[in-house]
A and B are shown apart, each in its own frame.
Chain A
């Protein structure tokens, strides 16, 4: 999903930059609010930021398709630090990946943040919330969030390319052509991202549920309190 410089039109880059900027403002507000509520939030944010940096640059080989791709890490980040804060760290991560690792471009930071930081994070977060609303187990809700957040990221990247470049070809057709470049490799990696997200969220909740407000439902909180009382 790291679209490079020189592919998207200047207008498209500007639109994606504007969309990213519009989401960064509530992101900074969310960070400021949660920093005041919890002293541990800043180091938590730093840890999640660097984790997203490495997860989204870690190319894993998929022998079925003979190519490599990477997970995103933003669905996980959205669950544990919040979706708006994830947009902020995604923009920072993509900037550093572009200037230090040659992944993506500078003019496309907006477009890449929209796919990974906004769509990936919000899709994952909404799926997490939806499943938790129905008292789904934490590992299942987190796993599905990771899976669909990952695929949504790549669907969005393919759509961004198709919107800019479809020309006389129908948009849907061009979208699917680009997605077929990602999809076969990304599908197994989405499963890997699902497992990874499920394990990390489950471990974090077991160790420090206080760091992730709202992660436990009322019944589960009572069980946790009971554990500590024993």
Chain B
């Protein structure tokens, strides 16, 4: 009994340490900033040279429509910011799922379990 109460006292006094800004997070943030910097520099260059920056899929679909004489259309029209919204929502959940499964499959505990 005495041992159990001492243990619970120790648990109360010891603060759990959670490393939120650990090595993995730092590396991921660095990679993200490298990608975003590349996108910003490219976008700045394209804007300064009055380039449209449209997607090649749209360009080729428009070319194909011209050749076929028909009108191509996506299954769902997402005008303006609706596409950004849909993409952000999808990416949020994709990120959560990938992150969750990554932890299950490649986290330290999973690795220890599987290695001989």
Contact = CB atoms under 8 A, between A and B. Distances in A.
B17 to A, nearest CB: 24
A150 B70 CA distance: 28
B78 A68 contact: no
Interface size for chain A: under 10, 10 to 19, 20 to 34, or 35 or more residues? 35 or more
Residue with the highest number of chain A CB atoms closer than 10 Å, among B56, B74, B97, B111: B56
A61 B54 CA distance: 9
B6 interface: no
Interface stretch (A16-24, A43-51, A132-140): A43-51
B43 interface: yes
Contact of B54 (A67, A204, A208): A67
A46 B94 CA distance: 10
A61 B42 contact: yes
Given A47-B98, A63-B51, A207-B106, A69 B64 contact: no
B74 A68 contact: no
B114 A186 contact: no
A186 B57 CA distance: 11
Interface string B77-101: 1100001001100110110011001
Interface string B32-76: 000000010111011001011111110111011101101111111
Contact of B56 (A100, A165, A182, A225): A182
Contacts of B51: 63, 66-67
B115 interface: yes
Nearest to B110: A208
B60 A158 contact: yes
B64 A7 contact: yes
A142 interface: no
Contact of B60 (A57, A59, A181): A181
A211 B49 CA distance: 47
Nearest to A166: B67
Contacts of B39: 60-61
Given A50-B98, A61-B39, A204 B106 contact: yes
Given A66-B52, A100-B86, A102-B74, A4 B61 contact: yes
Nearest to A51: B98
A220 interface: no
B74 A66 contact: no
A5 B42 contact: no
A1 interface: yes
Contact of A101 (B54, B70, B90, B97): B90
A13 interface: no
Interface string A100-142: 1111111000000000000000000000000000000000000
Contacts of A176: none
Contact of A99 (B42, B76, B94, B102): B76
B105 interface: yes
Nearest to B82: A102
Contact of A7 (B42, B70, B110): B70
Nearest to B70: A6
A66 B46 CA distance: 6
Nearest to A2: B57
7 contacts: A5-B72, A51-B94, A54-B91, A60-B39, A61-B39, A68-B53, A70-B55
